[in-house]
Structure 1
Amino acid sequence: MPIEAVIFDIGRVLIDWQPEAFYDRHLGPERRCALFAEVDLHGMNLSVDLGADLGEAVEALADRHPGWADAIRMWQSHWLDMASPEIPGSAQILRAVKARGVPVFALTNFGVPTYDIARAAYPFFDLFDRAYVSGRLGVIKPDPAIYEIVEQDSGIAPDRLIFTDDRPENIAAAAARGWQTHLFDGAGGWAARLMAEGVLDQTEVAIHA
């Protein structure tokens, strides 16, 4: 069946997402390990991905852990530093698919305010024909409900969607619904898969591999 839409995850597919590496640079590995052991920063971020306000979530966590308050507040003040840089080659693939006239969607676990920050920093976000953002939808991958939203909203049959994500559980959930899937491990592999599906041609793959 021909592919009718190409769907990208964003974090660790189009842009990097490495909070631990950021805190290693600013606190040192030992203090970073202590911070992440004592403070559930990822749990706080998950609440933002589900629609919580970033500032309110950060301040609530800082209030609960006053000894780490300054470090916790960096999650907001330095968020873009954690979501950088662009993954080499991935945005070029997005542009190439878009230039072919194939719809491109985002399906991402992302907070509403953080998505807006990233969109301002990375112009290729504006290439998406549709962006399915968990913070707007109130549901996150790999919950089957978020994949169902994509199917119903787009009107495209599952087997005509191809989706890349760096997390195996997110890929497995999409595959269980009949989507075509690709576990992202670099732009070269993703480009080669799109070539195999007839979405890109050999010249375009050679550029991005």
Structure 2
Amino acid sequence: MTTDIRHIVFDIGKVLIHYDPHLPFSRLIPDETERNWFFANVCTHDWNIEQDRGRTWAEAEALLIEQHPAREEQIRAFRKYWHEMVPHAYDDSVAIMEGLIAEGRDVTMLTNFASDTFREAQARFPFLNRPRGVTVSGDVGLIKPDVAIYETHTKSFGLDPAATIFIDDAPVNVEGAKAYGWNAVLFSGPEKLRSDLAAYGLKV
């Protein structure tokens, strides 16, 4: 499976940096059953993804506090302790990305990320500033796997879809990229990524 790949697009969370909202909440809500209930019913994935789409944290918090007033402190803790949810980078993945950049490859990033927390991540993880650029969902008001965000990224960076490969940890986002016309691979670890890239003629 070799093809003329000229553009490599990386997702960020769970590909280049670790993300786990349970990390601070294991301290804030020690009981696992209660904590799982909190994430299933209060600070849910669907609630959080709207911040990735551009909703402000103030609006997001107010919405939940109105519904769950007794949980106000825990609701506000989600943003307050966000930095604890992203404790470290995946060094081997970063090395692959930096290796591609060092070879002169065209590397960009496409991420579902709130605007403010992404800037915080950039300050903490300097390698996020090394690719040619990034499309942040919170900046453009679109989220993966909406086809419009792949189109926006393509147009912003002048990509040829057929010559683009996308790396993401979520199957739905990989399928969304393929539906738009990109090549795409599911990230499950650095060694598998090296193998997948090699299959497209990219050896790092």
State whether TM-score is above 0.5: yes
Aligned to 1:11: 13
Whether 1:173 aligns to 2:176 is yes
Whether 1:164 aligns to 2:134 is no
1:87-106 matched pairs, under 5 angstroms: 87-106=90-109
- Supply the distance in 2 between the matched residues of 1:3 and 1:34 (Cα, whole angstroms): 44
1:44-55 matched pairs, under 5 angstroms: 44-55=47-58
- Supply the distance in 1 between the matched residues of 2:41 and 2:114 (Cα, whole angstroms): 23
> SS where residue 89 of structure 1 aligns?
helix
Aligned to 2:153: 150
Aligned residue among 64, 71, 74 for 2:77: 74
Aligned to 2:25: 23
- Supply the distance in 2 between the matched residues of 1:43 and 1:168 (Cα, whole angstroms): 17
Please report how far the alpha carbon of residue 66 of structure 1 lies from its aligned counterpart in structure 2 after TM superposition: 2.0
- Supply the distance in 2 between the matched residues of 1:166 and 1:61 (Cα, whole angstroms): 28
Whether 1:34 aligns to 2:37 is yes
Task: Tell me the TM-score normalized by structure 2.
Answer: 0.91
- Supply the distance in 2 between the matched residues of 1:152 and 1:126 (Cα, whole angstroms): 20
User: What code does the residue aligned with 2:6 have?
Assistant: E
- Supply the distance in 2 between the matched residues of 1:85 and 1:25 (Cα, whole angstroms): 18
- Supply the distance in 1 between the matched residues of 2:155 and 2:96 (Cα, whole angstroms): 26
User: What code does the residue aligned with 1:195 have?
Assistant: A
- Supply the distance in 2 between the matched residues of 1:22 and 1:186 (Cα, whole angstroms): 24
Aligned to 1:207: none
Please report how far the alpha carbon of residue 63 of structure 1 lies from its aligned counterpart in structure 2 after TM superposition: 4.1
User: What code does the residue aligned with 1:128 have?
Assistant: P
> SS where residue 167 of structure 2 aligns?
strand
Please report how far the alpha carbon of residue 140 of structure 1 lies from its aligned counterpart in structure 2 after TM superposition: 0.5
> SS where residue 135 of structure 2 aligns?
strand
| Deviation per residue, 1:70-95 (Å, 9 max, x gap) | 11111111101112221241111111
Q: Is the 8 A contact 1:59 1:73 kept in 2?
A: no
User: What code does the residue aligned with 1:133 have?
Assistant: V
Identity of paired residues, percent?
35
> SS where residue 68 of structure 1 aligns?
helix
Aligned length: 201
- Supply the distance in 2 between the matched residues of 1:173 and 1:14 (Cα, whole angstroms): 20
